[in-house]
Amino acid sequence: MAIPRDLVAIDIHTHPQTEEFLDAMGARRAQMEKHFGRKREVVSFQAQADAYRERRMMAAILNSDAETTSGLRAAPNDLLGRAQAEHPDVFLAFAGIDPWKGQAAVNEIRRCKEEYGIVGVGELNPARQKFLPNDRRFFPIWDTCAELGLVVMFHSGFPGAGAGTPAGGGYSLEHGRPVPYIDDVAAAFPELRIISAHPGWPWHLENLAMVWHKSNVYLDLSGWAPKYLPPEVVRYADTLISDRVLFGSDWPVLTVERWMAEFAELPLKDTSRRKILRDNAIRLFGLEETA
């Protein structure tokens, strides 16, 4: 895959907002709107692609399948595959899978890779999908991703899902811990490239340790307003792990404009800034720069 000229950034973390994706949220849509204080409006893939093209950015488009635990049908991965085919200069498609579906999840990953050339799997959300990534029952899934060269993205830290409701929607915060749940997967599959999504508060220090320790793990800075990033995250992103930190907005939770404006104010070296915004993602996905 080639990247467009003068690429400014790759937003590694966006959630499509077409009708199908909003419908698939069920009651979570209203809960998330309340928690984040923003109404979800329908945005077509065409409109999302246009907005990113305008900014000279690419964007990863994510999906999630939590049918086993929520009873809700996920939006079909074909929608993301087709969006990537229609806008190859903008979109990087990830497939959503339900780890509890076992072999069917493995088959879906293979199908999406074959039919659409997806680049990754995720965002998996251990809290919302009620699973622990280091449970050996799920290892065939990670093994398949490693074999196919797909990047796997796990949500880390505080989950927006269920936040502010009685019992937090029944989700356990524990599932969001990077160590040992993501760390064990990274240890078992050296060829598997993993993105630990979000700074991971209140376990951001675990994320930093894991990314520093295991070179197959990347950290995305999405879902957290840059001006509120814990100082350790900013310091490590500028130094020890600057080759493995990625820009992500978590749109529509945060707008790209706000993220970029606040990121510009952080005390980072220009070299780190460029790595975080584009170069690390270019390398992670093996994208080619056009002359």
Query: According to CB under 5 A, which residues from 184 to 243 bind Zn ion?
Result: 197
210-221-110-81 Cα dihedral, nearest 10 degrees:
-170
**Considering beta carbons, is residue 48 or 156 the nearer one to Zn ion?**
156
Nearest distance, CB of residue 64 and Zn ion, angstroms: 9
Integer CA distances (angstroms), 17 to 20, 67, 92, in order: 8, 19, 16
Determine the residue with CB nearest Zn ion.
155
Count of chain residues binding Zn ion (CB under 5 A): 2
Segment near Zn ion (CB under 5 A); pick from 80-88, 95-103, 152-160, 269-277: 152-160
Nearest distance, CB of residue 239 and Zn ion, angstroms: 25
| Residues 6 or more apart whose Cβ sits within 8 Å of residue 168 | 159, 162
The dihedral of CA 18, 59, 199, 105: what is its sign? positive
How far, in whole angstroms, is CA 2 from its chain's centroid?
21
Nearest distance, CB of residue 197 and Zn ion, angstroms: 5
Contact between residue 118 and residue 93 where contact means Cβ atoms under 8 Å apart: yes
**Considering beta carbons, is residue 248 or 273 the nearer one to Zn ion?**
248
Pick one of 28, 155, 177, 273: the residue that binds Zn ion (CB under 5 A).
155
**Considering beta carbons, is residue 155 or 278 the nearer one to Zn ion?**
155
**Considering beta carbons, is residue 150 or 197 the nearer one to Zn ion?**
197
**Considering beta carbons, is residue 124 or 234 the nearer one to Zn ion?**
124
| Residues 6 or more apart whose Cβ sits within 8 Å of residue 276 | 221, 237, 242, 245, 246, 247, 268
Nearest distance, CB of residue 136 and Zn ion, angstroms: 24
Nearest distance, CB of residue 13 and Zn ion, angstroms: 7
Question: From CA 67, how far away is CA 259, in angstroms rounded?
Answer: 31
Which residues of the chain form contacts with Zn ion (CB under 5 A)? 155, 197
